[in-house]
Amino acid sequence: MVVRLDQVGLRYGPSGEDEVLRGISLAVPQGGFRWLQGPSGAGKSSLLRLLYLEARPSRGRLSVLNTDIPIAETRLGRGMLARLRRRIGVVFQDFRLLPHLTAFENVALPLRIAGRPEGQVRADVQEILAWVGLGRRRDAHPQELSGGEQQRIAIARAVVHRPALLLADEPTGNLDDAQAERLMQLLREMNRLGTTVIVATHNAALVRRHPGPGLFLDGGRLVGDEADGYHEPE
């Protein structure tokens, strides 16, 4: 399983505070797709944060990319953390582009971290920038880009290195309908090629147009898992 949680809880800050995720158990196999849904504050971004290893469980068992992730008190080797993260692509809800880098340099980062040769970096970044319709904005800095343009750069950065696991947090929040459809084409194609994809969204129309199994959170609990008894397409 690419993602497995068994009775996982998460609390921010010192122990004693309320858990924002409680007793979550779920599994997503390689090549799986899941919509992650639930009201604002339900814990969607927090769950994605666990999967990106930015937050650690306060209880339960978590495994990501077939690697057991110890709970908060236990140290996780830096090498292991870096190795796992290199195989994960994330579209953050707040984009998190680096302000001093151009659009091109932001998107190139995962390839540079992976040590790809410069010629391949240029070709791959140009290709994905063209795909998201921003080939001509490659030299712009994030603050010179609109919200939707920044979001598309964040998407390009998340997919350019063909991650094994793609986590997208409200990736259409700033996109128009045509761009959102184009993003879905990209996600489905990556999913078809074997990437495991988890997309948190409030966009009910998008989910209706692209049916797929949903994980439903409410108040930090998993209240629905449509993948129960569902067989992933081969």
Ligand X SMILES: Nc1ncnc2c1ncn2[C@@H]1O[C@H](COP(=O)(O)OP(=O)(O)OP(=O)(O)O)[C@@H](O)[C@H]1O
Contacting positions for ligand X (CB under 6 A):
12-13, 20, 38, 40-46, 93
Query: Which C-beta is closer to ligand X: that of 12 or that of 230?
Result: 12
> CB neighbours (10 Å) of residue 229?
7
Residue 43 binding partner per list Mg ion, ligand X, none, with a CB distance cut-off of 5 to 8 Å that depends on partner kind:
ligand X
User: Phi and psi for 105 in degrees, rounded to 5?
Assistant: -65, -35
User: Phi and psi for 97 in degrees, rounded to 5?
Assistant: -75, 150
Residue 46 binding partner per list Mg ion, ligand X, none, with a CB distance cut-off of 5 to 8 Å that depends on partner kind:
ligand X
CB of 3 to ligand X, least distance (A): 16
Give the 3-state secondary structure of 171-232.
CCCCCCHHHHHHHHHHHHHHHHCCCEEEEECCCHHHHHHCCCCEEEEECCEEEEECCCCCCC
Query: Which C-beta is closer to ligand X: that of 42 or that of 97?
Result: 42
Residues 68-127 that bind Mg ion (CB under 5 A): 93
Closest by CA position to 165, among listed 86, 218, 62:
86
Query: Which C-beta is closer to Mg ion: that of 93 or that of 126?
Result: 93
Query: Which C-beta is closer to Mg ion: that of 29 or that of 41?
Result: 41
Closest by CA position to 132, among listed 146, 120, 144:
146
CB of 17 to ligand X, least distance (A): 8
* Number of residues counted as binding Mg ion (CB under 5 A): 3
Query: Which C-beta is closer to ligand X: that of 195 or that of 203?
Result: 203
Give Cα separations from 62 to 52, 59, 76, 131, 168 (angstroms). Answer: 11, 9, 13, 35, 19
CB of 166 to ligand X, least distance (A): 17
Query: Which C-beta is closer to ligand X: that of 44 or that of 138?
Result: 44
DSSP E strands in 65-213: the ranges are 67-69, 88-91, 165-169, 196-200
Q: Does 45 bind Mg ion (CB under 5 A)?
A: yes
CB of 73 to ligand X, least distance (A): 18
- Report yes or no: 206 and 184 within 8 Å, Cβ to Cβ: yes
Residue 40 binding partner per list Mg ion, ligand X, none, with a CB distance cut-off of 5 to 8 Å that depends on partner kind:
ligand X
Interface contacts to Mg ion, rule CB under 5 A: 44-45, 93
